Structure formats: structure tokens, C-alpha cells
Amino acid sequence: MLHIGSADLVRVSNSISIINKILFSDIEEQFNKAFYLLNSKNLPETKENYLVFFECTQDYRNKNIFKFEAKQESHYQESIALFSDVIKIKPKHALSYEFRGIAKTRILDDQGAIDDLSIAINMGSSNKDAYFFRGEARRMHLIDTKGAIDDFSKSLSYDPLHVEAYVSLGIVNEKLKGYTAAIEEYTKALDIDNQKYFAFYRRGCVHAQLGNYAEAILDYNRAIDINPNYNYYWDRAKARQMQKDYMGAIADFTKSLELINANKPTEYANYFGSGKSKFAMEDYEGAIADYTLAIQYAESHEVYIAKAKALFKQKAYAEAIQDISKAMEFDPSQANDYCLRGYIHYVINEVGAAIQDYTIAIELNPDFPNPYYLRSIARKHIGDDAGANKDEDFFQKLKAN
């Protein structure tokens, strides 16, 4: 065994410091701030040099669990902007593409997330997080269930104990009506973490879907023991009804309503989270209902955008445009919002309004390629071939960078 003394350790530390200055000094500050913002809910606000740890410590990711959750919605947007600054300086920095992609999943920019994470993976940033979050984006976007399943499976090949990947596979199989496979995936998650109440809850829902109400109630019981959520009581009440346990059902319905009334300050978050889950399950009508309830407790940019996306899926285009416009009252600086509203205008043949929104998106973020591409299509539609070609050129240049 080679003995390394303190003097050797100092030399190694100094060498790493020198390498860091050479390779990363021009992006270090922006990257570290961006990574902190992406994880601000769970990371202390310190001067930790995450960039060097990721780049120079081979098992840093495996030894540290990052949840990629921000304290507030604006932190995701700020982190995306900072990672974009890093990419301008180092266009082939795979980690920045990866973490920018993960941040985009948090603001429901699913196509942007897929694009960034695919670039990161192609550049060699192949790991459980990159594949898992691309799987999540694919699950939410364009119903790409096969791609999602492939990505979750790939994520599990890096980490066979990745509980969230099993849960997500369960959700995808549930959506495909592969109920037996869904139960298997939820069970695998619970074999690893028997406190994963959402897996108990979803497995209970699948049992109920199959008419196995006794098994469903057992799973709802476990979920309620860990996390007494009003949704869990509500669904257990319905299962008890089916078993003609009417007194038990009444008790559960009553408890569900008590929890709703006792937790009104948190109802926004509950309904918003429930809406996102229903959207992921393609229950767009249910998602719209939950988002509408969330708005009764608190209005925000994020809930109006989420509701607009569900309305778009239901082809309720006028209502979707109204909700995007309402979201803009809370935050008028998001280029993605103008792209979304512009696209809906285009779908309903309001091409002039679409071009106007795409133009505003470009003004807000000139380095964002999507609005150039969308505006090129709209300009071609009205016969402005010169403008369309110009936008297409800008789009291709930005994508290349």
C-alpha cells in the first residue's frame, strides 16, 4: 500500500486547485450558484464548490443525494439563466446541460428538458439522474411512454435502488393499463423503501381499478399510517363503499373533509400537486378541476400555466389563452409562456397574434431557439418566406451552439 503523507496531500490539494483555476475558473461562480438555486430547498447556502466536486471526484454523485428541489419557483428560472450563461462560455459543458434540463422539468418545460438532457447524455453525462429526469419529461410530453420506460430502465441500470424510478415506471404502466406491471413496480419501490406512502397509495388505486378492494384498502391503510392525506382517506372511503362498509366510508369521507378544513393554508399545494399527478396520468379533466381548486386558495404563475397546459390538452384553446395571460400578470418575463400562448394562437389560426407572441419571447430571451423556429413556421404560413428563412437560420445557429 502506498503511504501518502501530509506533505503529499498538500501537493495533491494544490494541484487540484491549479487544475480547477485552469479548467473551471471562468464558469465556477455561475455554475455553483445555479446548482445551489436548483437545490435551495435542501442545500445550505454555503460557498461549496460543487463544480470541482462533480468534475474531479468520481463518486461524488453516488455519495450525495440531490433532490433538485428549490425553495421557490423563481429559483428554477434563475438557475436556468445561470446554466445558460455557463453554456455560452463552455458550449460543451455536459453538466450544465444536464442540470439545466433538470431545472426545466421543474417548470414543466418538458421539450426543453428533453433537448438539454439528450445533449448531456450524448456528451457523456450518462448517469441515473440524466436518464431519470429525461424519462420524467418524456412521460409528461407527447405521451412518449416507450422513451420514458427506456430512460427509467437505464436509470435503474446505474442505480438498482432508485426508488423514484420504480414509482415512475409504475405510473407509466398504470397509464398504459398494464396494471399487473404497475403493481410489480410499486412493490419493488416499497421493497426498497417501506415508507414510500405514495407507492402504497398508487398501488392501492391500481387494486381498486382491478376491483380488488380489500387489497386496495390495505394499501390505503399503509399510506394513511405514514401520511394521513385527505386524498388517501377519500379513496379509501370509495373502496369501503364498494365493499358496502358504509359506516367506514362515512367516517373516511368525514375525516377527509376535516383534513381539508384544518389545512386550508396548505390546500393550494395539495391541489396543485394532485393536479400535476393527474396531468401525468393524462387525466386532464381531473387536473383542471384540481388546479381550479388550487386557485381558489392562492393564485400564482405556476398554477395558471399548469392549468393552461391541461386546458390545451383538452382543446379548450380560448380558456388556455386566458389562463396564460393571467399567469403573465404574475410574471411577464417568461419567454416560454409567450411561446405557449403563441402556439395556441397558431393552432386556432390566429397567426398574427402568434407571431406577436413569438416576437415578445425573442425580445425577452434572444438566445432561446424555440420562438425563432415557431415564428418561422408562422411566417411561412402567411407567405413571408424571407422572414421565415431568416428565423430558421437563427434557430439553426442557436441550436448548433
- What are the residue boundaries of the structural domains of the chain, listed by start? 22-152, 263-321, 333-401
Whether 263-321 and 22-152 are alike in CATH topology: the answer is yes
Please give the share of the chain, as a percent, with pLDDT higher than 70.
93
Among 145-159, 192-206, 232-246, 291-305, which stretch is predicted with the lowest mean pLDDT?
A: 291-305
Region of 13 please: left (phi>0), alpha (psi -120 to 50) or beta. Answer: alpha
The architecture (CATH level 2) of 22-152 comes to Alpha Horseshoe (1.25)
Whether pTM > 0.85 for this model: the answer is no
Q: What is the CATH number of domain 263-321?
A: 1.25.40
Provide CB contacts within 8 A for 26, sequence distance 6+: 89, 90
Residue 252: closest CA among 287, 299, 217? 217
Burial of 346 (0-12, 13-18, 19+ CB in 10 A): buried
Q: How confident is the model at residue 188 (pLDDT cuts 50, 70, 90)?
A: very high
Burial of 36 (0-12, 13-18, 19+ CB in 10 A): buried
Mean pLDDT of 82-96: 94
Mean pLDDT of the chain: 88
Residue 345: closest CA among 366, 363, 326, 318? 318
Domain 333-401 matching CATH 3.40.50.1820: the answer reads no
Q: Residue 325: what residue type?
A: S
Contact 316, 289 (CB under 8 A): no
Q: How confident is the model at residue 74 (pLDDT cuts 50, 70, 90)?
A: confident
Q: Which residue has the cell 373516511?
A: 252
- Cα 382 to Cα 344, 363, 375: the distances in Å are 16, 22, 11
Whether 347 has a pLDDT exceeding 70, the answer reads yes
Contact 107, 327 (CB under 8 A): no
Residue 162: closest CA among 174, 149, 152? 152
